[in-house]
Amino acid sequence: MNLVHDPENYEKMCEPHSTIDEAKQALSAFMEEVSYLRKRHRIADVSLVAEVCVLGGNTGAKTKRMRTMAHYGSGLLTHEMLLWGVGQSHEATLNDVEKLAELVNNYEKGQAPLPLGDEPEKPKVKTKAEIKAEAERQFAEIEQTFLDVAHWNDAVRKPDEEPIDPDPDGTLAGLRRYLECVVKQCSE
pTM of the full predicted structure?
A: 0.51
Task: Show which of 73, 93, 108 is a domain's final residue.
Answer: 73
pLDDT, one tens digit per residue, over 149-168 is 888 888 888 888 888 988 88
- Mark whether 37 and 80 lie in a shared domain: no
Domain termination residue (choose one: 53, 73, 93): 73
Write down which residue in 42, 73, 104 finishes a domain: 73
- Give the structural domain span for 92: 74-188
**What 3-state class would DSSP assign to 63?**
strand
Short-list 182, 169, 18, CA closest to 91: 169
- Per-residue pLDDT tens digits for 33-66: 999 999 999 999 999 989 998 887 555 557 888 8
Which uninterrupted H or E stretch holds 11?
helix 7-13
Residues 94, 154 share a domain: yes
| Domains: count for the chain | 2
Interval 22-36: pLDDT, tens: 999 999 999 999 999
